Amino acid sequence: MSHRVLRRRVKSWGAVLLALPYSTLSLALDTATIVPSVSSPSCLEYQVVGVCYWLRCTPFGCSVKTSAKVRHYVPDAVVSSYSSTGENPWAEVKLLSPSNPMAQGGGSGTTNNPNENNLAVFKNVDVIGHPGIAAFNAFASGSGYTCAGAGTPYVPNLLSTLDPLGWRHGIPESIYPPSLIPGLREIGSRLALNLWGSVYPRSGFLHQPDDYKASAVAAQRAGDIVTRPGQLHVYQPLLALPSAGYWPAGELRESDPSTGKWQSLTPVLSQSCSVFPHPGPLPQARDGGYAWSLWRPYTCCKREGQTFLGSTGPH
């Protein structure tokens, strides 16, 4: 086959793909796809926010040194939200969450028809340390001094198949006030007509005919769990301890970008971050599998002495 014919065929296939409805597109997600996604200035949002003061002492005396106080976001984890148990869309980590006697099935009771919004949707969710931390550090260091995140590459913080009571049965959160009282801890607003769902109960079941929205709500629920200590779930907190000149990210709050942002990985790879709910077309995954990078804000300054004296600017 000549190169000219091959180019014509590639162009014709490209035209076919572009002509497909946006909702039918999907992305095969693997580590090789995830790692380069960390090179996003929009998600990084690097800024100098103040000055840190340090006391440095030597045998010849003491002096006060300063260093820049910086704030930026770090991709702490990949959060996968998917329908079929054992089918995490991130290919390399599928074996971490197989079916087990207490978490066998998956899927939902809806075909995404708006008339079926009384039917329950179920999503498994895995929160796993982002594999691109080394690449991120190399990318972010171009802006200056960088802060460490709380995630560890490939280390799970939550596998919903190991949390059957909380994730599949909603025990005990189904009787918590935010689960029973409309308007508490909701993703979106009823008044703005963009309500995607409620954070509580933080389980895999919800009523939402749009598959993307259902998956996003489940991802937000998992992020809510892992960014708080002492929750009644089986998980490993995604939290770092504060130290001198280091202010780690705290609790993730729905619709609040100052606590965390989401970067779509599949079915569409995005180079920007947002919070739920967000406007625009919502891609629907053919297999019910979605994944996002969870970026969280950290503030820090380079140590320039033995004793931290204080700082200016926000944490």
Digit-coded pLDDT (tens) for 73-111: 999 999 999 999 999 999 999 999 999 988 877 766 555
Distance CA 264, CA 220 (A): 13
pLDDT at position 295: 98
Span 211-226, average pLDDT: 98
Span 120-144, average pLDDT: 96
Indicate whether 314 belongs to any domain: no
Task: Report helix, strand or coil for 3.
Answer: helix
Residues 18-50: pLDDT tens digits?
A: 333 444 455 679 999 999 999 999 999 999 999
Indicate whether 149 belongs to any domain: no
pLDDT at position 20: 37
Indicate whether 39 belongs to any domain: yes
Indicate whether 276 belongs to any domain: yes
pLDDT at residue 119 greater than cutoff 90: no
Indicate whether 63 belongs to any domain: no
Span 244-255, average pLDDT: 98
pLDDT at residue 16 greater than cutoff 70: no
pLDDT at residue 8 greater than cutoff 70: no
pLDDT at residue 180 greater than cutoff 80: yes
pLDDT at residue 118 greater than cutoff 70: no
pLDDT at position 120: 85
Task: Report helix, strand or coil for 38.
Answer: helix
pLDDT interval class at 1 (50, 70, 90): very low
Indicate whether 308 belongs to any domain: no
Q: Cα 24 vs. chain centroid, distance in angstroms?
A: 23
Span 105-130, average pLDDT: 75
pLDDT at residue 268 greater than cutoff 70: yes
pLDDT at position 280: 87
Indicate whether 173 belongs to any domain: yes
Indicate whether 164 belongs to any domain: yes
pLDDT interval class at 231 (50, 70, 90): very high
Residues 272-310: pLDDT tens digits?
A: 999 999 998 999 999 999 999 999 999 999 999 999 999
pLDDT at position 12: 38
pLDDT at position 115: 56
| The model's pTM | 0.88
pLDDT at position 9: 38
Rounded to 5 degrees, φ, ψ at 311 are -155, 165
Residues 60-72: pLDDT tens digits?
A: 999 999 999 999 9
What residue numbers bound the domain in which 165 lies? 24-44+75-127+154-297
pLDDT at residue 15 greater than cutoff 80: no
Domain count for the chain, please give it.
Answer: 1
